[in-house]
Amino acid sequence: MKDRQADLKDDLGDVPPEEFRKQLHQLADWIADYREKIGELRVAPNAKPGAIRAQLPAQPPEEGESFEKIIADIDRVIVPGMVHWGHPMFLGYFGWTTTAPGILGEIITAPLNVNAMTWRTSPAATELETLVIDWLRQWLHLPNDFDGVVYDTASVAIMHALAVAREEAVPSTRKLGLAGRADVPRLRVYASEQAHSSAEKAAIALGLGEENVQRVATDAAFRMDATALREMISRDLAAGMRPLAAIATVGTTSTASVDPVPEIAVICREHKMWLHIDGAYGGGLALLPECKSVMAGWSEADSLVINPHKMLFVPLDFSVLYVRDLERLRRVFTLVPEYLRGDTVAAEKNYMDYGVQLGRRFRALKAWMVFRTFGRAGIAARIRDHLRLATLLAEWVKADDRFELAAPVSMGVVCFRFIGTDENKIDAMNSEMVERINASGRAYLTQTKLNGRTVMRIGLGNILTTEQHLRNAWELIRATAGES
Ligand SMILES: Cc1ncc(COP(=O)(O)O)c(C=O)c1O
């Protein structure tokens, strides 16, 4: 009986330290090998929906399994089933920011496993978050009265920004909500036709209503037309609605266009509207002294979001919302239940007060490690090279008369279009080319629509992508066009 009890005891608790150490060493090699050889993998799998699950047992394990067996399944099923966003030929979207210091930061964060909800539950996580937010504020040249909070994504950030705008436009919304109030007109939010759909998602979540996000026309370079914004606001005012906020994007998702922030800021001040700047992607350009112009009008904003996981080499997820006078955000969301009171030091920052989330990951560590490892100059030099590659690709596109540029190139994004075919088939052809290239596993691009036409889109920002990779991608595109 005694022996059996001892055996049972051996089965409890965590994996024994010596075994864990061995696994960690093995994993260190696994991660280093993955990073070193990532370029040899298919960028995207050839899998059909359901194919990955079909290779794994549908029943949960009754007994524990060995590390070796689990890792073998990762190699056999999971890795081949991935789109490798860190692959140098992954040229889609914006989130390609896996870097060695970022990975190390994520690894250290895992065993610490703190909940950065209040200063007391994790003083170091809280203070490092405050420090990293301030470092980034300095890099963005935002005035001192801006302070921020880290969320997972820009979508969550804009929802919080608009929640503050809503509270200030309609006092007591926090307490009473919007429903059933005769004193609340329809609230309108304005964003350009090219702005991210997170504006609508925020409006849905906040009870503002998706249709109250009004899309403003853009000019030939896909920037918000400020005159059209003015006209829309006048129309809405005449109809008894209340303009609540405008979203100006610095680096739109499809083309990286930059809205005329100073003009939009003037309109916002005139109508006492909240100005939110979506710099989720383009905000990172502020680290390059020669790109100072992107920051025009930022100091006029009420809020600004930047995703260092898009341009600044911090792994997903890390999004910072800056608010002018952060207390405005705290007033909307602070709520301390009795069971947390003991762990709440009022004099210290408790990040749970600045949003919906209570439990919060220690995200600041990886950003701090990335920022320290590369420094501003190192980050700027890498971004500068991505801008050079984007310009180079644009030149190649212009030099081939089967293609045309579909938008001006202002950041690391190039939109272009194959035009060497029957006019009626061009849209389908461009879409098919992207499908074919992605299915080949040799590169990954995306497609979007501009002025109603389908275009191919390449995003440059992966730390591993070199000029040779880009040349290979361009050759692949040309060859695919040749088969058309
Ligand atoms: C300009 C812009 N804003 C917001 C977002 C939303 O970002 P997130 O995925 O962090 O919510 C994106 C996503 O790509 C974006 O491109």
Instruction: Check if 94 has its Cβ closer than 6 Å to any atom of ligand 1.
Output: yes
Of 7-16, 105-114, 250-259, which gets the smallest average pLDDT? 7-16
Which residues, at least 6 apart from 157, have a Cβ–Cβ distance to it below 8 Å?
151, 303, 305, 319, 320, 321
Q: Residue 1 — pLDDT band, cuts 50, 70, 90?
A: very low
Higher pLDDT, 98 or 456: 456
Atom of ligand 1 nearest to the CA of 251: 1
CA of 265 to the centre of ligand 1 (A): 21
Instruction: Check if 281 has its Cβ closer than 6 Å to any atom of ligand 1.
Output: yes
Q: Residue 282 — pLDDT band, cuts 50, 70, 90?
A: very high
Name the CATH code of domain 115-361 (choices 3.30.2020.30, 3.30.365.10, 3.40.640.10, 3.40.630.10). Answer: 3.40.640.10
Atom of ligand 1 nearest to the CA of 152: 10
Which residue's alpha carbon is at the smallest distance from atom 13 of ligand 1?
A: 253
Instruction: Check if 254 has its Cβ closer than 6 Å to any atom of ligand 1.
Output: no
Region 275-281 average pLDDT: 98
Region 66-78 average pLDDT: 97
pLDDT at 9: 54
Instruction: Check if 447 has its Cβ closer than 6 Å to any atom of ligand 1.
Output: no
pLDDT at 423: 84
- Contact status, residue 159 vs residue 201, Cβ threshold 8 Å: yes
The pLDDT tens digits for 143-196 are: 999 999 999 999 999 999 999 999 999 999 999 999 999 989 999 999 999 999
Mutate to test the pocket of ligand 1, among 247, 253, 318, 415 (most ligand atoms within 8 A of CB): 253
CA of 46 to the centre of ligand 1 (A): 27
pLDDT at 46: 87
Q: Which residues share a beta bridge with 303?
A: 276, 323
Instruction: Check if 307 has its Cβ closer than 6 Å to any atom of ligand 1.
Output: yes
Higher pLDDT, 413 or 484: 413
| CA–CA dist 302, 146 (Å, integer) | 9
Mutate to test the pocket of ligand 1, among 198, 276, 306, 309 (most ligand atoms within 8 A of CB): 198
Give me the residue spans of the domains in the chain.
Answer: 115-361
pLDDT at 424: 86
pLDDT at 2: 46
Q: Residue 85 — pLDDT band, cuts 50, 70, 90?
A: very high
Instruction: Check if 130 has its Cβ closer than 6 Å to any atom of ligand 1.
Output: no
Predicted TM-score of the model (pTM): 0.95
Phi and psi angles of residue 213, each rounded to the nearest 5 degrees, phi first: -90, 110
Instruction: Kindly report the average pLDDT of the chain as a whole number.
Output: 95
Q: Quick check: 59 pLDDT over 70?
A: yes
Q: Quick check: 55 pLDDT over 70?
A: yes
Mutate to test the pocket of ligand 1, among 85, 258, 278, 413 (most ligand atoms within 8 A of CB): 278
Mutate to test the pocket of ligand 1, among 151, 153, 311 (most ligand atoms within 8 A of CB): 153
- Contact status, residue 463 vs residue 99, Cβ threshold 8 Å: yes
- Contact status, residue 120 vs residue 345, Cβ threshold 8 Å: yes
Region 30-48 average pLDDT: 96
| CA–CA dist 124, 131 (Å, integer) | 10
CA of 154 to the centre of ligand 1 (A): 5
Q: Residue 7 — pLDDT band, cuts 50, 70, 90?
A: low
Region 296-307 average pLDDT: 97
Instruction: Check if 253 has its Cβ closer than 6 Å to any atom of ligand 1.
Output: yes
CA of 112 to the centre of ligand 1 (A): 29
| CA–CA dist 247, 235 (Å, integer) | 18
pLDDT at 322: 98
Of 55-59, 336-340, 427-431, which gets the smallest average pLDDT? 336-340
232-247: b (≥16 Cβ within 10 Å) or e: bbeebeeeebbbbbbb
CA of 157 to the centre of ligand 1 (A): 10
Instruction: Check if 280 has its Cβ closer than 6 Å to any atom of ligand 1.
Output: yes
The residues annotated as belonging to the active site are 339
CA of 310 to the centre of ligand 1 (A): 9
Phi-psi category of 296—alpha, beta or left, where left has phi over 0 and alpha has psi -120 to 50? beta
Q: Residue 244 — pLDDT band, cuts 50, 70, 90?
A: very high
Give the tokens for residue 191.
């964003």
Instruction: Check if 147 has its Cβ closer than 6 Å to any atom of ligand 1.
Output: no
pLDDT at 468: 98
CA of 328 to the centre of ligand 1 (A): 23
CA of 135 to the centre of ligand 1 (A): 22
Q: What percent of the chain has pLDDT over 90?
A: 91
pLDDT at 421: 75
Instruction: Check if 126 has its Cβ closer than 6 Å to any atom of ligand 1.
Output: no
Of 124-138, 336-350, 466-480, which gets the smallest average pLDDT? 336-350
Atom of ligand 1 nearest to the CA of 155: 11
